[in-house]
Amino acid sequence: MTYKRIIRPLLFKIEPEQVHHLLVNGLKCYRHLSPIRSGIRKKYHTYKPFSYKDIVFPNRIGLAAGFDKEAAVFDELADFGFGFIEIGTVTPHPFDGNPGPRIFRLIDDESLISRTGFNNPGLEIVLDRIKEIPKRNYRLGVNINKDATSTTSEQIVADFSLLFDSFYLFVDYFTLNWGSIDAADFEAVLAQLANLREAKPENKCLFIKLPADIPEAALDTVIALAQRYHADGFIATGPTMDRSNLSSTARTEADKIGAGGLSGKGIGAKSVHVVRYIKSKTQEQFLIIGAGGIMTSQDAKNMLEAGADLLQVYSTFIYNGPNAILELNKSI
Ligand SMILES: Cc1cc2nc3c(=O)[nH]c(=O)nc-3n(C[C@H](O)[C@H](O)[C@H](O)COP(=O)(O)O)c2cc1C
């Protein structure tokens, strides 16, 4: 309640990306406040484990990619009750992304529009930061992508291979975004990663993250690729380009904002439909991480009922604060 009544109104007076920097800097200070840290950990800690292969997720609620693109504060974020955290998206080299402003709030519709464009400090810095925290009681994933300057199939495959090899020993899972490169290159990357994985001593998970607007024909294609190249599962889904679930006021606002993926409540039931489709086609073959538009306990239940095993959130953390994570964990 304190978050929604007091903290959020103050934060929402400031431009979204600036709030993000404030939060990251705040968490870097919080890192050194041991007594407060242990109090927060105790308050939000939830142990309701879920196992997949050799990985034990301490609970089923994760933080989606894009919140800690820089791997600057993932360990502190985990204190707020996340069972797993996905850092990135990370590319081999640092990338500035799109010019700002590039994150927008549609407050009444509890949604965000983002066109950040994979800004990140690059592999080297992210890897160093992960190595600084070898002991973790939550699972860590990394969302990887090619450099914007890599255009040929060889360059793209080389970028993903480099990221995969470099992070391999230090994370629990990898995520690739379907739609961020074309389908033929995506298949070449999956084939190469399957080869690399075969030669590794332990098997780290590989997930494919799907966009909310993916048509059924493309879903069938990506499911077949996941089967052929032994991916472990799907994250369904990322943002949508569709604004039809927004209220008319928010739609007018969104028109003024322009291009960008819509996250949060405005995704509506799109992600749930994708989860349900995958589940109906593949039964127990894949791990499914439901994401996109999970704002309330009821949304979480709908995702699980549709077939999700784990859940990932982003927007509800912004709109409802850390208590939302506790509530979600309690409710499932
Ligand atoms: C500001 C912002 C930045 C994001 N950056 C990334 C990213 O770098 N990589 C990615 O895979 N998803 C990114 N996402 C998508 C989220 O991971 C998530 O899939 C999406 O927001 C849907 O979840 P939600 O409805 O709980 O917010 C971003 C989302 C937002 C709002």
Task: Give, to the nearest 10 degrees, the angle between helix 16-30 and helix 34-44.
Answer: 110
- Whole-angstrom Cα distance, residue 88 to residue 122? 9
CB of 119 within 6 A of ligand 1: the answer is no
* Arithmetic mean of pLDDT, 302-331: 98
Pairing type for strands 50-52 and 55-57 reads: antiparallel
Dist. CA 156–CA 147, nearest whole Å: 8
pLDDT for residue 201: 85
The pLDDT value given to residue 84 = 98
Give the integer Cα–Cα distance in Å for 225 and 218: 11
- Does the CB atom of residue 166 touch ligand 1 within 6 A? no
Q: Which residue from 267, 314, 318 has its CB within 8 A of the most atoms of ligand 1, so it is best to mutate?
A: 314
Domain count, the chain: 1
What pLDDT is stored for residue 275 in this prediction? Answer: 98
CB atoms within 10 A of CB 320: 19
Count of H-run helices and E-run strands, the chain: 14, 13
Residue with tokens 């009444």, as numbered in its chain? 108
pLDDT score of 11: 97
The ligand 1 atom nearest the CA atom of 86: 17
Annotated catalytic residue 180:
yes
Q: What is the average pLDDT across 283-305? A: 98
What is the C-alpha separation between 303 and 271, in angstroms, rounded? Answer: 8
DSSP per position, 177-222 = ETTSS-HHHHHHHHHHHHHHHHTSSS--EEEEEE-TT--HHHHHHH
Active-site option among 180, 247, 297, 331 = 180
Locate all alpha helices (DSSP H) within the chain, ordered by sequence.
2, 8-11, 16-30, 34-44, 74-78, 123-131, 153-167, 183-198, 216-228, 248-257, 270-282, 297-306, 315-320, 323-331
Of 94, 134, 82, which is closest to residue 311 (Cα–Cα)? Answer: 82
pLDDT at 252: 97
User: From CA 84, how far away is CA 98, in angstroms rounded?
Assistant: 28
Spell 214-231 as b/e; 16+ CB within 10 A means b: beeeebebbbebbeebeb
CATH of the domain at 37: 3.20.20.70
CB-CB contact of 87 with 65 (8 Å): yes
Spacing, Cα 88 to ligand 1 middle (Å): 10
Contacts of 97 (CB under 8 A, 6+ apart): 116, 117, 118, 119, 120
Distance 314 CA to ligand 1 centre (A): 6
Q: Is the peptide bond before 46 cis (omega within 30 degrees of 0)?
A: no
Q: For ligand 1, what atom is nearest to the CA of residue 237?
A: 19
Q: 29-43: per-residue pLDDT in tens?
A: 999 999 999 999 999
Taking residues 103-124, what's their average pLDDT? 98
pLDDT greater than 90 at residue 331:
yes
Using CA atoms, how far apart are residues 309 and 289, in angstroms rounded to an integer? 6
**Ligand 1 atom nearest to CA at 295:** 26
By 3-state DSSP, what share of the chain in percent is helix, strand and coil, each rounded to 5? 45, 20, 35
Owning domain of residue 216: 2-331
With 0.85 as the threshold, say if the pTM is over it.
yes
> Which residues does residue 313 pair with via DSSP β-bridges, in sequence order?
63
> Does residue 271 line the site of ligand 1, with CB under 6 A?
no
pLDDT digits (tens, 9 = 90+) for 160-185: 999 999 999 999 999 999 999 999 99
